[in-house]
Amino acid sequence: MSAEAADPGAPLRRRSRPRIDLRRLGRVALLGPVSRDRLPDAIGHVAEAHRAHHPDADLTILRRAYVLAESSHRGQMRKSGEPYITHPLAVTLILAELGAETTTLTASLLHDTVEDTEVTLDQVREQFGDEVCYLVDGVTKLEKVDYGAAAEPETFRKMLVATGNDVRVMSIKLADRLHNMRTLGVMRPEKQARIAKVTRDVLIPLAERLGVQALKTELEDLVFAILHPEEYEQTRALIAAAAGPDAPLDTIADNVRGTLRDAGISAEVLIRPRHFVSVHRVRRKRGELRGTDFGRLLVLVTEDADCYAVLGELHTCFTPVISEFKDFIAAPKFNLYQSLHTAVVGPGGAVAEVLIRTHRMHKVAEAGVVALGNPYAQDHAAAPQTEPSDERADPTRPGWLSRLLDWQESATDPDTFWTTLRADLAQDREITVFRTDGGTLGLPAGASCVDAAYAQYGDRAHTSIGARVNGRLATLSTVLSDGDTVQLLLAQDTASGPSPDWLDHARTPAARIAITGWLTDHPDEAKPTPSTMTSMDPGGPGPAEAAAPERAAQATAPARTRSGPRATGVVVDGPDAPVRLAGCCTPVPPDELTGFVVRGGAVTVHRRECPAVAAMQEIGRAPVGARWADAGGRESDAGCRVTLVAESFGRPRLLADLTEAIATAEAAIVSATVEPPSEQRVRHTYTLQLPDAAGLPALMRAMREVAGVYDVSRAQHPAPAG
C-alpha cells in the first residue's frame, strides 16, 4: 500500500496551516535566483511557521542556507518526480511547525548536501559555523561502499553518538524520516516494508523517548498503513463512520465548558481525535468501540494550579472513573511529558477520557525536545543540574540516552549493536529507583536487581551476591518497581563472576553485554554458591545475614555440579549436554521433571509444578524431556539436594533446635539463611544434602515438630524477603 496515498494523518490533522505543496514548491525552486533583499518564495511557508514561534528570528541565515541547498541539489530529482530541493524544504517546514529554532532549521535545509552533493563539511563550517556543521554531519549517512551491510547500523550508531552531544541531530532525522515515509508510495512494496520496519523498531521509539509526539503519532499511522493494510483500512472505515455532527464527545465537551465557566476557570476545551494506531489499540483492548473512544477531551489552562482546579471541578460535577486517573504533572514522564489524565461519565453513561495541561505543557507534549528551542544556549546551560542520570534533570542528555551510549561502546559488532538497539528501544516504559546514597538509577520497566547492579557498578557487578530492596533482603532476580530503594551487595572476592542464569533476569543491554562478555572470557568457570559469605562491601549485611543465602539462589548461580547428563542423576532427551538441578525448586526423586536449555547449551531441570516452568513456556522456551536416572528414582551414590523453607515465630535457641533436628535426620546443611524478624515471624531457608530422597518426609516432619515452627515447605521460587 502507498503510504503517501493512504495519508492516515489527514483526517486527524491538527496543524493550523495546510501541508506544503511539494509540486508548487518544486516549480518555485526552479525559477532561479532571487534578489538579495527578500526571502525566496520557496521558503515562505518555512519563514511563516518559524516566525509564529520565534517572532524576532533573523531569517538571513535561512536564506543563505536555502540558496546553497537549492544550487547544490539543482538537477537532482526525487523518485516521485519532484525536484530534490522539495525534500529538505518539507523537512524544514515540519521542524518549523514544531517550533525548532533557527540553527536547527538551517541544518535541516542543508542536511543532505554533504551526503548527496559536492558540498563538503568544511564548506558548511566555513559558511554557517561549527554548530550547523555538527548537526549536518550527525545526520549524514555512512557510505555503503565503505561499510557494506554494516552501513545502516553504523550510521545509526554514529547518529546516536552525535545525539548524545546535541539532541537536535535526532530531531532532524525524525523529520527527515517522516517526510520520506509520507512519500514512500513510489518505492517497491518490499522496500516500503523494510523502511517501515526500521521506522517502527528504531525511529518511533526514539521519537517517544524524545517526547516528539506529533512526529511519533504520524509515523505510527504511516507504518500501520504499510505493514498492516487490512487492519488499517478497517480502522479507517470505523473512524469515517464515527465522524458526524452529533458525536458523543461534542455533548460532553459542551458540558465541561459550562462547568468550568460557572466555576470561573478560564480554559480552552478541545476534542482531540485519536490517531489510527490509537483507535486500533483501543479496539483490540475493548472489542466493540464506544462513540467516545474515537477521541479525548483536551483542557488547556494557563497555570499549573489551574490544572488541579479543573480536575477538582470535573470530579465534583461528573462521576470520575478513578482507575483512569494519572498525575504526570507531579511525576513527569521520562520524556518531559506532563499532564493530568482522568475519565468522567457524561450524559447517558458515556465515558470520556480527559487530558488537562497548560499551554506550555501542551507544546512540550507535542514537540518534546524540539520545544526546548536551543537547549545549549547560555540560559539553559546555566541552570543547575542536580542529578545527571535523571531524565527529568537534564533533557539535553536523558538518562536512557546516556545508558545507550555506554553499552554501545561494548557492542563492537554491528549486528550485535543493531539487534541490541532494537531490543533496548522496544522497552517503552522507564522506572526510577533510588540508591541508598541518595542517587537515582533510571531503568526500563521490568528491570531486576541484576540490571541495577550493572547500572551502578559496571563490571564490579560481576561480584554481586544479593540486594536489599526497600530495606529487605532480596535476590538479584527480584524485579524492581518505580520508586523502590535498592542497595546492592557485593562480595570482596573479585575473582567471582556472574552465573549464566543472570541472563534470564537481565533486561538492560549494559547488563547483558557485560554478563555475556564475562562468560565468554571464562568458559570453564561458574560462580560458586558460597556456604558462607562474610566479606562484604561496607554497609552490607553482617556475617549472620550473609551466611549461605540460598534465597538468593538465582542471584548467586546454581550449586556446582559435575558436567555431563548423568551428573545430577538425571537423564535428559536430546544431545549430550551439562545438566544441573534448578536452584529455585531443587527437585529430588521421585519428583516429575522437565528441563530447559539455557544459554551456553546446559540444561536446567525443574520440578514440573515449579512456577518457573510456566514462565519459561510463556516466553516461548521449548521444554526438554527429563527423568531420573533409574526406575526407582534414587540416586545411588550422590544422595539428593533440596531447599526447605521453615516459617516460625521468633524465640531464643530456635536456630540451634532446628539445626539439631536437621542433623538428627542425617542431613548436611549446604547453606542457610535467616532473614531479619518481621512482626515476630522468622523465615529460615536451608539447602540440605540428604543421603536418600526417601528421608525427606521424615526430615520435614522433624523440623515441623520444633517448638515455634508452624510450617516447613519445599522452596518453589525465590520469594520476596520478609
Give the catalytic positions in this structure: 115-116
Q: Which amino acid is at 44?
A: G
How many whole angstroms separate alpha carbon 270 and alpha carbon 213?
18
Nearest residue to 501 (alpha-carbon basis) of 510, 512, 509, 486: 512
Asked whether the bond before 590 is cis by omega within 30 degrees of 0, the reply is yes
Q: Rg (Cα) of the chain, in Å, rounded?
A: 31
How many whole angstroms separate alpha carbon 467 and alpha carbon 541?
10
- Beta-strand pair 464-469/430-435: unpaired
Q: At residue 358, what are phi and psi to the nearest 5 degrees?
A: -80, 165
Which residues on adjacent β-strands are paired with residue 606?
Answer: 594
Q: At residue 140, what are phi and psi to the nearest 5 degrees?
A: -80, 125
Q: Tell me the helices (H) and strands (E) count for the chain, helix number first.
A: 29, 21
CB 632 within 8 A of CB 533: no
How many whole angstroms separate alpha carbon 431 and alpha carbon 399?
11
How many whole angstroms separate alpha carbon 46 and alpha carbon 50?
6
CB 108 within 8 A of CB 172: yes
User: For residue 623, what is the enclosing H or E element?
Assistant: strand 623-624
Nearest residue to 527 (alpha-carbon basis) of 455, 576, 488, 476: 476
How many whole angstroms separate alpha carbon 529 and alpha carbon 643?
13
Q: Is the dihedral of CA 579, 585, 587, 588 positive or negative?
A: positive
The Cα diameter of the chain in Å comes to 102
How many whole angstroms separate alpha carbon 172 and alpha carbon 73?
18
